[in-house]
A = this chain, B = another copy of it.
Amino acid sequence: MAAKLKPNPSDHLLIFIVVFLIAIDSFVPSTAAFSSSKWSPRFLGKFSHPNKPHPQLQLQQQSQFQYDTRYFDQRLDHFSFSKLPRFRQRYLISTEHWVGPERLGPIFVYCGNEGDIAWFAANTGFVWEIAPQFGAMVLFPEHRYYGESMPFGSGEEAYKNASTLSYLTAEQALADFAVLITELKRNFSAEGCPVVLFGGSYGGMLASWMRLKYPHIAIGALASSAPILQFEDIVPVETFYDLTSNGFKRESISCFNTIKQSWDVIISEGQKNDGLLQLTKTFGFCRTLNNTDDLINWLDSAYSYLAMVNYPYPSEFLMPLPGHPIREVCRKIDSMAGDNILEKIFEGISVYYNYTGKVDCFELDDDPHGMDGWNWQACTEMVMPMSSSQDSSMFPTFDFDLSSYKEECLREFNVEPRPRWITTEFGGHDIKATLQKFGSNIIFSNGLLDPWSGGSVLQNISESIVALVTKEGAHHIDLRASTDEDPEWLVEQRTTEIKLIKSWINDYYRQKRAVFEI
């Protein structure tokens, strides 16, 4: 095994946002742009640019859910009194179904994560769908340094350097939420109204952390696909790639093996005369490859995404995909005659990058904007060590190395990661013992097909800190809007979630001796 991935601090974490963000039904590019840079994939970077929200997406969102867009003046550093410019935090709000403060109407808050909050609102149909039966207000506050919530007046200024970026941290974001919720409740005279948090992916991490750190602000949290244990050595570093690989292996051993063998083939092919040109042709890129790493990352990203969006029904995220997309990829790989591994791989990956068949050639967009907040977060607090093992992973072997990781972050952002900070601030080691005696009202929902599930809470911790695990589920599918094709287990999962949330609220009402019952 000579193939080697470069140590990419945020490769893997970046992945799990994109899935959430990009349900762009109408967006089918004639050339599939995808990143192969070391910060890949960078689709988020392109489309989450605060000054250029995707026009088609905007349109779609506005037609789907009704809300007002408002802004709230926030401190840049909640935990010091440094004289810093304040910034405008955007939030989306709907009081359409809220029964109001007198009846202690609940307030549903989605913890905005690393992207434009309008995208999250558009892709969290679950919250919108259940709000009416709860008589709930719906609130989507945006995460600082994303979307329109830019400090220093603009995204360009906010992302200028390590100094301007330095307030982009999870704790500051949580404090933003705490201050915003507290102030809004005061303004609505809704101090007595129960707040329930929602979040998917990093947003799910924020929701669970918010429940832990601010139990007085929210009575419960639904944290979907929230890998709060993906830090330090809490879970084995091979987890993510092993799970992704298992998703392929369970469909077909030969598919798994073909992919596993492909890396060496790519590298040796690339070393030949005209090898890169040949690879360019085989994979149908619009421009000639500069190196094999770009191709390897392009494939690597696709496999990881496929594992996350390995939903049981057809979906249209970044790419329109069939149901059980990995099954389809492997069917293509396995069914192709001959022993040309690269042609097999191309057939398979085309399911992901060109399911509609409309792509003429693939673009390896290699122009980083330096605008990607998650890369900064991965280089500061969100250090999630990941290795690809020689045996159980189908990916190129790679050992996570903290020193190289740090070096790259210093080079890229002039910042030093703090790999132990998250567990110091939020815990993680021995989480069961901590939460058993100290927490309540959290749902950790996970689909086992999602490679992020390995870093999540998969066991019930107490009576009211429960894990909802679905065998066939992928990345936070439960938060999406319901469809006619939802399998039974998904319908059941959502029913359970609604039941639990109701029980939290009714508990709260009983405590408050409120007369209003759902």
Contacts and interface: CB of A to CB of B under 8 A. Distances in A.
B511 A163 contact: no
A83 to B, nearest CB: 7
Interface stretch (A3-11, A363-371, A428-436): A428-436
A80 B438 contact: no
A217 B438 CA distance: 12
Contacts of A191: 429
A81 interface: yes
B82 A166 contact: yes
Nearest to A215: B438
Contact of A166 (B81, B428, B437): B81
A426 B433 CA distance: 23
Contacts of A172: 79-80
A101 interface: no
Interface string A496-513: 000000000001000110
Interface stretch (A61-69, A174-182, A300-308): A174-182
Interface in A15-74: none
A125 interface: no
A429 B216 contact: yes
A285 interface: no
Interface string A376-387: 000010000000
A438 B440 contact: yes
A428 B182 CA distance: 13
A80 B425 CA distance: 13
Contacts of A512: 433
Given A178-B424, A424-B178, A424-B179, A434 B80 contact: no
- Interface magnitude class on chain A: 35 or more
A318 to B, nearest CB: 30
* Most chain B C-beta atoms within 10 Å of own C-beta, residue among A79, A167, A440, A512: A79
Contacts of A380: 81
Contact of A425 (B175, B212, B421, B436): B175
A162 B215 contact: no
Interface string A457-474: 000000000000000000
Given A215-B427, A216-B427, A427-B216, A81 B182 contact: no
Question: How many copies of the chain does the oligomer comprise?
Answer: 2
A64 B480 CA distance: 64
A4 to B, nearest CB: 30
Given A424-B178, A430-B216, A81 B162 contact: yes
A182 B77 contact: no
A380 B77 CA distance: 13
Nearest to A379: B81
Contacts of A167: 80, 82
Nearest to A181: B424
A78 interface: yes
A213 interface: yes
A171 interface: yes
Contacts of A441: 437
Interface string A398-442: 000000000000000001000011001111111101101111110
A150 interface: no
A261 interface: no
A79 B434 contact: no
Nearest to A81: B166
* Most chain B C-beta atoms within 10 Å of own C-beta, residue among A82, A169, A179, A428: A82
Nearest to A77: B80
19 contacts: A77-B80, A78-B421, A78-B425, A79-B80, A80-B169, A81-B162, A81-B415, A83-B162, A175-B424, A179-B424, A182-B424, A216-B429, A216-B431, A433-B511, A436-B511, A437-B440, A437-B507, A438-B438, A438-B440
Interface of A: 77-83, 162-163, 165-167, 169, 171-172, 175, 178-179, 182, 191, 212-217, 380, 415, 420-421, 424-431, 433-434, 436-441, 507, 511-512
Please list the 10 inter-chain residue pairs (A to B) with the smallest Cβ-Cβ separation, ordered nearest first: A216-B427, A215-B438, A81-B166, A79-B79, A216-B434, A82-B166, A80-B166, A79-B171, A437-B440, A182-B424
Given A83-B166, A215-B438, 20 more contacts: A77-B79, A78-B421, A78-B425, A79-B79, A79-B80, A79-B172, A80-B80, A81-B169, A81-B380, A82-B163, A82-B166, A83-B162, A178-B424, A191-B429, A212-B215, A215-B427, A215-B439, A216-B426, A437-B507, A438-B439
